[in-house]
Amino acid sequence: MRIREFAKTIWFTLIVTACFAIAMAYLEAAVVVYLRALFKIVGEIQPTPPNSGDVLIALPFFAFLQPHYLFNILPDSKILGTELFRETATIVMLATLGWLAGRNLREKFALFLFVFGVWDIFYYIFLYLILGWPSSLKTLDVLFLIPTPWVAPVFVPIGISVLMIVVAILLITSKKQILPSFKSIKNF
């Protein structure tokens, strides 16, 4: 297969979007490095477990915390606001890439899942390479702050990311219609 022909395939799209996701993961890891330097955080952070009143929803290995717990995670409201908008920007960038790279609604959604999964896995890889964190896959992390804080051991987001990548590839390579078409959604 010639390079021009390969450049028109979904496999080429997956490679290019993965490169974007990996570069973005490094950028996000660098932000964490700078935040740790700004707050003079050295070594492993030993988070204080939330009280039962701080937990909104508890699942095995995963919890959503009450919105007020945000101020326990980032007490500086200026930094907290910046972090909330940074997280929103991250999702917008990943969704935009999926939208631009996909040829139809199914591919757009699948590529969003794919890029999100690759980005998240490499985010943890880069944090480990730069900071030596997380020290284990059982290390507790704050995954997101939107719409409320999510906490889980690192193996949870990595497992979900692997699942997102697998689902994305299945959506892209399967000829069967798994997702509803745009017309059926419109007529719903």
* 90-111 tens-digit pLDDT: 999 999 999 999 999 999 999 9
pLDDT score of 44 more than 70 = no
Q: Considering only residues 145 and 73, tell me which one the structure prediction assigns the higher pLDDT.
A: 145
pLDDT score of 132 more than 50 = yes
Which residues, in sequence order, are CB contacts of 156 under 8 Å at separation 6+? 61, 62, 143
The pLDDT value given to residue 80: 86
pLDDT score of 72 more than 60 = yes
pLDDT score of 188 more than 50 = no
Q: Considering only residues 55 and 113, tell me which one the structure prediction assigns the higher pLDDT.
A: 113
Can you tell me the mean pLDDT for 71-98? 89
Which residues, in sequence order, are CB contacts of 185 under 8 Å at separation 6+? none
Interval 15-29: pLDDT, tens: 999 999 999 999 999
The pLDDT value given to residue 162: 98
Tell me phi and psi for residue 63, to 5 degrees. -145, 145
- Tokens, residue 185: 């959604």
Overall size of the chain counted in residues: 188
Nearest Cα residue to 178 out of 167, 187, 164: 167
Q: Considering only residues 76 and 153, tell me which one the structure prediction assigns the higher pLDDT.
A: 153
For a pLDDT cut of 70, what percent of the chain falls above it?
Answer: 88
* Mean pLDDT, the chain, integer: 87
Q: Considering only residues 123 and 181, tell me which one the structure prediction assigns the higher pLDDT.
A: 123
